[in-house]
Amino acid sequence: MKFKKLAGLAIAGLLALAVTSVNADALRVGVEGAYPPFSWKEADGSLKGFDIDFAHEVCKRLDRECVLIEQEWDGMIPALLARKFDTIIASMSITEERKKKVDFTVKYYNTPAKLVAKKNPGFEGTAAGLDGKRLGVQRATTHQCSAEKLYPGAELVLYATQDEVWQDLGSGRLDAQLSDSLQAYEGFLVLDVGQGFDFLGGALDDVECQGVGAGFAVRKEDSELRDALSKAIGDIRADGTYKVINDQYFGVDIYGG
């Protein structure tokens, strides 16, 4: 009996070693899956979107298997630091505050933030105009940072996902919301639920909160991975592959200036 148990443990150990060797070179990528058109989940559970396609292309350039791991947004950086995955590809803005905890690659796109409200709402997209108004933002984002800084008199309503923000704006439970302008356009304004809504004011000029574009986040000790990812981003941009992926989702070049 004891021999059988030992033999079974030995076999299990060999199997585990074999699995480890097969998957040792996989790149584990943290994604949100709830931020269309950058990432979303289909009914069959498959992940789609610009971030997802870009992740797969980067993995191909690094000759590594791409393992996508879903993570709620406000737990992204803690999960990276806890080694749940190796990098984050989730439209995460490169900000000085985040750089205190993690490192970033070069940007892979940069689009501005804007307010969205009903057309002709009767108030302006200013600190005075939003005073006392219910302003929705996704929690733990650069948009929460900007909302707290620029609209201190607004009643800030925080949500776990951007989809929840759109639901409450569309149903009238919010007066306005603040998010990425491209995500707002593609993920709400052009849809049936977004009819009757529009951007409120221009793009925010708030580099302190909004950062300098979205990048891949890695742990600070993983400088070799960071540099490899940055090179892959540059190569994808240079050889025209970026435009192919971009044009599947957007009518403009989202790389930014």
pLDDT digits (tens, 9 = 90+) for 205-242: 899 999 999 999 999 999 999 999 999 999 999 999 99
pLDDT band at 257 (very low <50, low <70, confident <90, very high): confident
- For residue 15, tell me if it sits in a domain: no
Concatenating the DSSP letter of every residue in 19-57 gives: HHHHHTT-EEEEE-SEETTTEEE-TTS-EESHHHHHHHH
Length of the chain: 257
**Alpha-carbon span 241 to 229, nearest angstrom:** 15
| Domain CATH code at residue 154 | 3.40.190.10
**Alpha-carbon span 134 to 33, nearest angstrom:** 26
Beta pairing class for 155-159 and 134-138: parallel
Write out the two tokens for 137.
């933002």
Would the pTM count as exceeding 0.75?
A: yes
**Alpha-carbon span 137 to 157, nearest angstrom:** 6
Do 243 and 198 belong to one domain? no
Number of domains in the chain: 2
Average pLDDT, integer, range 140-146? 97
Do 93 and 178 belong to one domain? no
Angle CA(188)–CA(240)–CA(85) in degrees, nearest 5? 65
pLDDT digits (tens, 9 = 90+) for 71-112: 999 999 999 999 999 999 999 999 999 999 999 999 999 999
- For residue 183, tell me if it sits in a domain: yes
Does 5 or 216 have the greater pLDDT score?
216
Do 35 and 102 belong to one domain? yes
pLDDT digits (tens, 9 = 90+) for 30-50: 999 999 999 999 999 999 999
Burial call 68-88: b when 16+ CB within 10 Å, e when fewer: beebebeebbeebeeeebbbb
SS3 214: strand
Do 206 and 243 belong to one domain? no
**Alpha-carbon span 186 to 105, nearest angstrom:** 26
**Alpha-carbon span 4 to 6, nearest angstrom:** 5
- What residues make up the domain containing 232? 27-109+212-249
Do 100 and 120 belong to one domain? no
pLDDT digits (tens, 9 = 90+) for 162-187: 999 999 999 999 999 999 999 999 99
- For residue 39, tell me if it sits in a domain: yes
Do 36 and 157 belong to one domain? no
